[in-house]
Amino acid sequence: MYTIISPPTAEPIAFAEMQTHLRITDSNEQTDVERYTRAARRYAERFMHRALVTQRIRTNLTAFANEIIMPPSPLAQVESVKYVDSDGATQTLATTVYQIDTLSEPGRIKAAYGQSWPSIRAGDFHPVYVQHIAGYAAPFTCVATTNICTVASRTYSDGDRVRVSNSGGALPTGLSADADYFVISATGNGFQLATATGGGAVVLTTTGSGTNFMGEVPETIRNGIKILTAHWYEAREPIIVGTIVANVPVSVIDMLTLYRLPETD
């Protein structure tokens, strides 16, 4: 059982991009288009059991398990593991007690080698809970004069390999989509990017436009969201001239099914 405690701060498809897809020029439609896009993103996430843009999740557990499954995917980082001990006090588990698997889908947590889970208070509904970040892409901003990028929703470490993407505008000049970059000079949520491990910082001459993302939402998923948004935008009523509107287009289901994960208990 998981709860979204901090939803995405940006959508994977900006209004400008969706406006082009819909072939509309009237910006007065922006509010409605953004609502349908947001709803389509949520539909896609629930259908696939995934998070597209980074969001903070709290997973509630009835007990520690040999492997703690961490939906939705992809798991980006674990912020804390807390539990109610046998005396009824809430404790934060040391990071040395557990290991994290971000490569599997969904991600997993298990006790580290030579470690064991602590005792918890019996009888509580959810005495164990994990706070973590999930999502393919995280919105970021940058400062051209310092070449520093800032991501509010997650942290990176020196040497991390990342890619960048954009919706509704252009990336900061100096960065390119479909290119690998490496994090350097990471401090808190800020860092610089280099084209090689330990290399010099990429020089940024503009801050970009639209929404910049650290990471990429798969293009197939983005196309599915666009088609579903267009479907809901065009068919705003359940009945048109006495004809029942079709359900979610088959093409959307086909695209999203490629990334759909099985249900997890």
Measured in Å, how far apart are the chain's first and last C-alpha atoms?
8
Task: State the chain's mean pLDDT as an integer.
Answer: 92
Does this model's pTM top 0.85? My answer is yes
| Distant-in-sequence, close-in-space partners of 31: CB < 8 Å, separation ≥ 6 | none
Mean pLDDT for the stretch of residues 48-62: 96
C-beta of residue 179 within 8 angstroms of C-beta of residue 222: no
Cα 202 from chain centroid (whole Å): 25
- Could you give the CA distance from residue 219 to residue 25 in angstroms, rounded to a whole number? 24
Which residue reads 């939705």 in tokens? 72
How many CA atoms, within 13 angstroms, populate the side-chain half-sphere of residue 7? 8
- Asked if 192 and 115 touch (Cβ cutoff 8 Å), the reply is no
Residue 20 zone, left/alpha/beta (φ > 0; ψ -120 to 50; rest): alpha
Mean pLDDT across the stretch 190-195?
Answer: 96
Please count the residues of the chain.
265
For 72-103, write each residue's pLDDT tens digit.
Answer: 999 999 999 999 999 999 999 999 999 999 99
In whole angstroms, give the CA distance from residue 218 to residue 241. 37
- Show me where the domains of the chain are located: 2-52+218-257, 55-134, 138-214
Residue 239 has pLDDT above 60, yes or no: no
Distance separating alpha carbons of residues 205 and 196, to the nearest angstrom = 19
Structure tokens given for 156: 């990176």
Name the architecture of domain 2-52+218-257. Answer: Orthogonal Bundle (1.10)
